[in-house]
Every structure is written in structure tokens, then in C-alpha cells.
């Protein structure tokens, strides 16, 4: 039952809805290597999702810093699974933002 639930929550549409909501949580797609292998190119080809990730990453999230950790996780997975889109992510300012977040005082980020 748990595997079935996780599969149902680890779909591209579920992930896209979460990103479009503007607030990320540690839902199953973020930690599922199969999800990233199967969907990273689809995410990058969507055009809007990378922009929305950049928007999310650009906020301060003072009251919910785990959102920053999640977006960094997602960016790392996109780079790992779709290295051909690295320049696209860089143009969105995500490389610079991730480097900045690596200096964050909050260890969770």
C-alpha cells in the first residue's frame, strides 16, 4: 500500500502542481531518484517550471527555510539527470543562487 501511495504521489503532474503552488514540501518526488530520471527533461522542457523554481529559490523564506533546501535539492537533481540544461538553469540565476544558499547560516539549507 505504501509503494502504491508513493507511486501515486510521485508523478510529474503532482510535482508540477506543487511547484506552481509556489511552496515546496518534502513530498515523495523530491527524494525519488526514479522520478528525477524519468521526469527531469520533461520538467526542463516545460519552460515554466524552471522559471517557477527560480522564483521560489529567489525568495528569502525566513519563516520556512526548508523550502530553500528542497529547491536546492531539486536543482541538483535536474543538473545531475539533465546536464544538457545546465546553461538554462544558469541563465535563470539558479547556479548563483544555490552558491549563495550554500553560505546560509541555517544548516538545513
Residue 20 CB burial class (10 angstroms; 0-12, 13-18, ≥19): exposed
- pLDDT tens digits, one per residue of 61-77: 988 999 999 999 999 99
Please report the pLDDT score of residue 9 as a whole number: 56
Report yes or no: 24 and 18 within 8 Å, Cβ to Cβ.
yes
Q: Read off the pTM.
A: 0.88
Count of beta carbons in the 10 Å neighbourhood of residue 96: 11
Report yes or no: 94 and 51 within 8 Å, Cβ to Cβ.
no
pLDDT for residue 106 is more than 90:
no
Tell the residue number behind the cell numbers 521560489, with chain if given: 56
Higher per-residue pLDDT: 92 or 7: 92
Amino acid at each position: 500500500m505504501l509503494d502504491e501511495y508513493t507511486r501515486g504521489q510521485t508523478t510529474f503532474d503532482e510535482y508540477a502542481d506543487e511547484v506552481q503552488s509556489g511552496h515546496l514540501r518534502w513530498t515523495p518526488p523530491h527524494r525519488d531518484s526514479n522520478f528525477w530520471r524519468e521526469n527531469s527533461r520533461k520538467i526542463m522542457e516545460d519552460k515554466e517550471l524552471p522559471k517557477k523554481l527560480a522564483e521560489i529559490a529567489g525568495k528569502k523564506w525566513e519563516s520556512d527555510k526548508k523550502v530553500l533546501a528542497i529547491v536546492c535539492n531539486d536543482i541538483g537533481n535536474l543538473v545531475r539527470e539533465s546536464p544538457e540544461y545546465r546553461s538554462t538553469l544558469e541563465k535563470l540565476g539558479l547556479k548563483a543562487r544555490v552558491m549563495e544558499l550554500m553560505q546560509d547560516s541555517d544548516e538545513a539549507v
